[in-house]
C-alpha cells in the first residue's frame, strides 16, 4: 500500500492527500508538479526512474488506511534544482 507522503521531497511543500498534481516514482519519492518541471527529462532525481501521477486513496478508506505523516526531504534537491 502506498504511504501517501505529506510533502514534496524537494521543496517541502505540503501536499493534500487528494491532490491531483502530485508525482511519485516506484520508490514513492514524492514531488509536486512545480518541482517535477525542473527535473531533467522529468525523471526522479533520486533513482532516475519515470514519474507518474500519485493515485488518490478514496476518502472512505483513509480512516482505516491513513496517509503517512512522515515528511521526507531530499538533502540537496533544493540546491540542485530550485536555486537559480
Which tens digits make up the pLDDT trace of 34-70?
A: 999 999 999 999 999 999 999 999 999 999 999 999 9
Q: Write the CA distances from 60 to 8, 22, 27, 64, 65, integer angstroms.
A: 24, 20, 25, 8, 9
Q: What is the pTM of this model?
A: 0.92
pLDDT at 79 > cutoff 70: yes
Q: ∠ at Cα 70 (8, 23), nearest 5°?
A: 30
Residue 83 has pLDDT above 80, yes or no: no
Amino acid at each position: 500500500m502506498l504511504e501517501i507522503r505529506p510533502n514534496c521531497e524537494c521543496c517541502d511543500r505540503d501536499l493534500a492527500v487528494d491532490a491531483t498534481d502530485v508525482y511519485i516514482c516506484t520508490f514513492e519519492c514524492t514531488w509536486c508538479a512545480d518541482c517535477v518541471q525542473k527535473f531533467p527529462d522529468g525523471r526522479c532525481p533520486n533513482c532516475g526512474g519515470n514519474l507518474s501521477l500519485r493515485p488518490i486513496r478514496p476518502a472512505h478508506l483513509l480512516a482505516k488506511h491513513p496517509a503517512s505523516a512522515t515528511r521526507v526531504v531530499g538533502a540537496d534537491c533544493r540546491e540542485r534544482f530550485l536555486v537559480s
